Amino acid sequence: MTTPKDETFNGLSAKEWTILGKNVWNDLSSPRQSHHLLHGATFPAALAERALSLYSKQGDIVFDPFAGIGTTIIAAAKLDRVGVGIELQEQFCTLASSLIDKEKTDLFSSKQSSRHEVICDDCRALDKYLYSNSVQLTLSAPPYPKVDIRPPKVQGPGRPRKNDLAEEMLERVPAHSLRQDDFGNFGYQMYLEELKLVFKKVLNVTREGGYSVWVVRDQRDTYNGAQYIPVHADIINLGVSAGWRHHDLIIWDQNDQRRLVLLGYPNVFYTNLNCSYLVVFRKPKDK
Ligand SMILES: C[S@@+](CC[C@H](N)C(=O)[O-])C[C@H]1O[C@@H](n2cnc3c(N)ncnc32)[C@H](O)[C@@H]1O
């Protein structure tokens, strides 16, 4: 028995639903444009478009509290959802607004009336901008947490050794602002506590049965024995303790987009952390 497309909650047919059912995404290498390089930690447009297609339908409100240059909101404009983002850094808000405007001028005029914006603020103030029980989907990637405590830099001649794990891992961490309210500057415990506050507020603005999808990557504490920090598992636990139901886990395989580096050779073997996770939560009926 099949259900007509327009009667499914996300507008997908049974065939589309099945094809999109893979829990490892390894086909998301959408080309990076110059504006992606200006930010350094964006996710691909294809990832945002797929997540929006799975967990929302036309006309729904989609939210991104760590909006960066607006990849989620641009996908919302393209797929005819309402899109609201919050971003701390003014230069990213400005860039997001011009990219959104460009996307909207490329679209049919019928789609240009709905709201698509990135507000410049701290996302912990999100309840100022959204009504309770209004959002269908939150899609967001928070900054990488600061899990390492770096020793003072010793000046010396020469480049770091190529097999030095700490230096290799640091090369992959994108720069963030020096602001105290930037989540990228919080120690790990504070990061989780403040994120829990955001999760509670997002739960309140999400409608019953709505979704919240968090794109995160695990880390190594490179200055403390390279201990593995299972960020995605910590996010699952904090989401559940904030009142969400853990709904799904998708692996975003990035092996094709990242250069393999030699880690720990020849003494300790480490894998390259070449995947991210999409942690999917759902708002339970009684919240
Ligand atoms: C990983 S980036 C998100 C990139 C985004 N997904 C995109 O594709 O453009 C995380 C963003 O969170 C922002 N951020 C950090 N702390 C914030 C806060 N307190 N409130 C809002 N945004 C914040 C950073 O400036 C950064 O742009």
- Assigned domain for 31 exists: no
Q: Does 194 sit in the ligand 1 pocket, CB within 6 Å?
A: no
What average pLDDT does the segment 80-109 reach?
90
User: Rounded to the nearest whole angstrom, what is the distance from the C-alpha of residue 39 to the centroid of ligand 1?
Assistant: 10
Query: Is the pLDDT assigned to residue 92 strictly greater than 80?
Result: yes
1-51 confidence digits (pLDDT tens)? 567 777 899 999 999 999 999 999 999 876 666 677 677 788 999 999 999
Q: What is the pLDDT of residue 112?
A: 56
List the residue whose alpha carbon is closest to atom 1 of ligand 1. 143
Q: Does 51 sit in the ligand 1 pocket, CB within 6 Å?
A: no
Q: Does 88 sit in the ligand 1 pocket, CB within 6 Å?
A: yes
Q: Does 39 sit in the ligand 1 pocket, CB within 6 Å?
A: yes
- Assigned domain for 86 exists: yes
The side-by-side arrangement of strands in the sheet containing 245-253 is 24-25, 245-253, 275-282, 206-216, 135-140, 61-64, 82-87, 116-120
Its pTM stands at: 0.90
214-242 confidence digits (pLDDT tens)? 999 999 998 888 899 999 999 999 999 99
Beta bridge partners of 119: 86
Query: Is the pLDDT assigned to residue 113 strictly greater than 80?
Result: no
Ligand 1: atom nearest CA of 177 is 25
- Assigned domain for 13 exists: no
What average pLDDT does the segment 159-188 reach?
64
Structure tokens at 84: 């609201």
> Which of 66, 95, 123, 140 to mutate for ligand 1's pocket (most ligand atoms within 8 Å of CB)?
66
Q: Does 41 sit in the ligand 1 pocket, CB within 6 Å?
A: yes
Structural domain span for residue 175? 43-282
CA–CA distance from 13 to each of 1, 17, 28, 54, 146 (Å)? 12, 6, 22, 11, 42
AA letter at 156: G
Q: What is the pLDDT of residue 267?
A: 94
- Assigned domain for 148 exists: yes
Which has the minimum average pLDDT: 15-24, 82-91, 107-116, 262-271? Answer: 107-116
- Assigned domain for 155 exists: yes
Mean predicted lDDT score pLDDT of the chain: 88
Q: What is the pLDDT of residue 271?
A: 95
b/e sequence 37-73, b meaning 16+ C-beta within 10 Å: eebebbbbbbbbbbbbbbbbbeebbbbbbbbbbbbbb
- Assigned domain for 272 exists: yes
Which has the minimum average pLDDT: 50-54, 63-67, 167-171? Answer: 167-171
What average pLDDT does the segment 144-160 reach?
60
Q: β-pairing, 82-87 with 227-229? A: unpaired
- Assigned domain for 87 exists: yes
Distance of CA 226 to the CA centre of its chain: 24
What average pLDDT does the segment 170-176 reach?
48
- Assigned domain for 24 exists: no
Indicate the number of domains in the chain. Answer: 1
CATH number for 150: 3.40.50.150
Query: Is the pLDDT assigned to residue 174 strictly greater than 60?
Result: no
